[in-house]
Every structure is written in structure tokens, then in C-alpha cells.
Chain A
Amino acid sequence: MSPIITTVLWSSLILLALGILFGVMLGYFSKVMAVNEDPRIVKITELMPGANCGACGFAGCANLAESMVQGKAPIDRCKQLDSKSAIEISSILGIEIDSSNFTKKVAIVRCQGSVDNATQQVIVKDVPTCKLAVTLKMYAKTCLYSCIGYGDCANVCPYNAITIGSKGLPVVDNMLCTGCGLCVSTCPRKVIELIPYGKQVLALCNNQNKGKEVKDACKVGCIACMLCVKKCPKNAIRMENNLPVIDRKLCDVCGICVEACPMKTIRFIHEA
């Protein structure tokens, strides 16, 4: 035999022997040191996203799965679970869950007070953050419920899903948004909200004032005329704080309220 073939043969034989030796050793030790783990933990860990992102506050998916079994953490602690896995986990744990909580959620800016629409009281320049603007009362728009537009939400978003558009309002990229809710808690005016992703109608206004005050402040603000409530064939809309609240369970997205709204406040969103 030529020396090359002998060398190759020997080296592969030695490595093979080592591999077998180590394999047998590991197999033996895994039997000896087997820990009787709760089989539910293993099953739930397999259903987890497996990204080990740590957004839930636990050290990885396996750790969260264990806490779920021990009842320390609710299933919706993991924001990335899809509804199918969530239902399976709930059946393993014997807990009833509302699977609608596990559809993809995205942030939506409930304000249309762009530069064209909202009335500006003064021109404010060089205010770095919305939070500071609220503290110093240095905001351009007269509406006290509107988006200030200095981009605290865009800065805080870890996925760069929010940008301040050309009209001075934040624009959410629904593909990038994971529904983590950081922008919701950051916004000093509470203009941003998390909603399930999908075609629906939504009143894009936060102004709790009535008619004239709103009309002075914004071209597209809700004046609480209640036309949408009267026109809705499913009675899915009710008024709260002078704003329409649309019940997603009753609404069939017929669009009658969108046509009826005289201020163009209610709009279709997430249209494909």
C-alpha cells in the first residue's frame, strides 16, 4: 500500500475509534446522570420559538417553559408565540387561553394630525424629544391629544420599525414591528396603541373634546357627532370619552362608518 493511503486510513481509523469511544462514554453518562425532568417542560420547550431572545425576562426559552409549568409565568409572556403553539401549550398545561391574544400585533399611531391637517399655534424648533416638549409645553400643534412628532417612538424602537414620515407623523412598518410595546409605553401622549394585525376599521383620533374645539385644532379629528354609531348595522360602535370605540368581535369591516364619518377620522387600516 502506498504511504498516502496508509496515512489516510490510519487517521480516519483513529478518529473513528475516538468518536465511538466518546460517543459510548457520553451515552453511558447520559444514562447514569439522567435527570427525571418534567416531560411537559421538554414538550413546551419544543413548541417555543427557540430564539432564546430573552425578551420575556427569563434565561432562554427552556427557562420560560419551566416557569410556565410551575405556574410562575403566563403563556402570553412570550410575545413571539403563534396561536397554534400557544393552543398546544395551553392543552399541555390544561389552561384555557384566548387564542386571539396570540395573533401578530403591531403598533398603530392613532393620530392623523400631520402638518397639513393639524392647526399649528407656533413654530417650535430644536426640541429634541417628545418627553421634553411635553414637560416644557413646547409643542407646535394646538391639539393636546395629538402626536407631537419629535420621534421618541422612532428612537426607542429596537427594530427600526418606526420612522417619522414627511408629514411629521410616525409611520410604522408592519413587517418589522414585533408588537413589543416599547413605543406604547414611551409615547408621552399615549397616541400609539397595539392592535392585532389585519384589515379593520379604526378611529384615528385621540381628542376627547367635542365638536368645535376639535374642529379648530384639526381637520381630521373626531368631533363626536356619533354618525358612525347610528349608521353601524352591527351596533359594533359605542362612544367613550367622545371617541368611537369599535368592537372587533362584532365589526365585519363593512366600511359604512368609514363612508359616514364626516371628518374622515375612521379609516381602513392594514389594507393589503
Chain B
Amino acid sequence: MDIIINLADGVPIYRQIVNQIKYLVASDLLLPGEELPPIRTLALQLKVTPNTVVKAYDELESSGVIHGRRGAGTFVSDGRPVLAHEERQRIIEQRIDALLAEAHQLNFTADDILRMLRERRAAMKSGTSGEPTELRRK
């Protein structure tokens, strides 16, 4: 399972695990019914204390993303679509927040952002390789 822990992220480790597993489920990299690694294996792989993995799995289980069968491992639940939408929305909203903060730092207004958004999307659609919009400044 492809999970990366970033200590400088400011986000607690268990939360990062939860988020990334939700992301994997949301983007179909983890299919319903697929088995998740046991706690000890994931802890060894990520080099974190097993209690963190326990916490993450507990939270995932209480929000219905996964379910565990006693002695038989942990599996991804069905009922994906609702969560996936919420999750996807939350992820994009995080990206937008970061983008807005960055833009503000670089002295762009929200209108500039919207304009550039449309320009980039048009460029992507017409298939031209991405030259930075800045070079085409007036």
C-alpha cells in the first residue's frame, strides 16, 4: 500500500494514514473487499508505532470505510460512492485553500485566479503543452 508519512506536515500521523487510505479508496486504488495489511505489517512499513495504525484503523472503521473480521483481517467496505464524493470534495477544497493562500502571497486576486483557471483549462483542452501563463503576460 502506497502511503507516505510526512512529519513536517503538521497533521497527526494517524490522520495522514486515514486521509491517504480514504484517498486510495476514493480513487479506486483500493477496491471494495480488498484486504488491508495487518496492523503490525503497516507499522513496520511506515516505521510508526502500531498504536497509531490502530487509531487510524479505528477511525476508518467508525466512519465505515473499512470493517474488520475477528482474526481474519481488515477489509475495505462497500458503499463507496457517498464517501468518495465527500472525500473528493474535501481534498479539492484543501487544494483550493492552499492555492488561494499562495496567490495572496504572490499578490494575485481571486479574479486573477479564476481567469488563469479558465486559460489553463482551455490550454489543456486544446492539447498545447503547458507554457506558464506568466510568459504570455501583456
Q: Do A and B bind each other?
A: no
